Amino acid sequence: MTTPRISTGIPPAHTETESWDLGGKMTHAPWRFITQSPRIRRAIWVLAVTLAMAAVVSCGSYSASGNTARNESQTTAPVPALSAAFISAVNSTDVQIVTTSAAAPVTEQSAVAAALAQLPPGSSATAAGLVMLTNAQHPAGVLAWAIETSPAGGFHAASGGPPGAAQQSPPPRNFRVDFVDASTGAWLEAVEGYSTGL
């Protein structure tokens, strides 16, 4: 008499990557199918290349942003206030400045960056202050940032006069101030001169 087979509902005890041949030996046919299928191998290769490229781009972007942040911090680092001697030297030229505590839409860091953009690479800003600037273009005064700058390569002497005129020793220079509009951020002008007090 044949004994009835009772189904327990429990799946066979083997994984999806294992199977049994007719001789009772364990094989890995499904896994061989996955690894040997050309279409699946191509999809795995494309996925691996895509992930590798994404990782490289991500690392490159992080490095570039880090370098940019470091360069900006070096260029726009806060600088000391203008000294009384420097203000006096500037007022000995054809412009007049008076320090002020008025609110300015443009930050000091942005003004310093705008001033250094007018100078050769390697130039620096040594002091800055918010001032009311009075000159021929702004007789009523304009709110501006006064940036004491030091050009790379040093100061150059002014012209000794028109061509054909008796050549005289050009006046030396030992200071420069760049003015940036504190409302718009536009560079206005630069003034250079010499002062025995500096």
The per-residue pLDDT for range 94-134, each reduced to its tens digit, is: 999 999 999 999 999 999 999 999 999 999 999 999 999 99
Give me the pLDDT at residue 71, please. Answer: 36
| Most confident of the ranges 32-36, 41-45, 159-163, 172-176 | 172-176
HSE at residue 171, side-chain half, CA atoms within 13 A, is 10
Kindly report the average pLDDT of the chain as a whole number: 76
Q: Which amino acid is at 197?
A: G
Confidence category of residue 73, pLDDT binned at 50, 70, 90: very low
pTM of this prediction exceeds 0.75: no
Residue 61, pLDDT > 50, answer no
What pLDDT was estimated at residue 16?
46
Q: Classify strands 142-150 and 124-134 as parallel, antiparallel or unpaired.
A: antiparallel
Which residues lie across from 177 on neighbouring strands? 148, 191
- Give 76-143 as a DSSP string: S---PBPPHHHHHHHHTTT-EEEE-----SS-HHHHHHHHHTTS-TT-EEEEEEEEEEESSS-TT-EE
Compute the average pLDDT of residues 134-158.
Answer: 91
| Higher per-residue confidence, 95 vs 72 | 95
The predicted structure's pLDDT at residue 58: 54
Task: Work out the pLDDT band at 56, boundaries 50, 70, 90.
Answer: low
Q: What is the pLDDT of residue 62?
A: 37
Residue 4: pLDDT band with limits 50, 70, 90: low
**Average pLDDT score over residue span 65-90:** 69
Residue 165, SS3 per DSSP: coil
pLDDT per residue as tens digits for the range 14-37: 444 444 444 555 555 554 545 556
Residue 6 has pLDDT above 60, yes or no: no
pLDDT more than 90, % of the chain? 48
What residue segments make up the domains of the chain, in order of their start?
26-75, 84-155+172-193
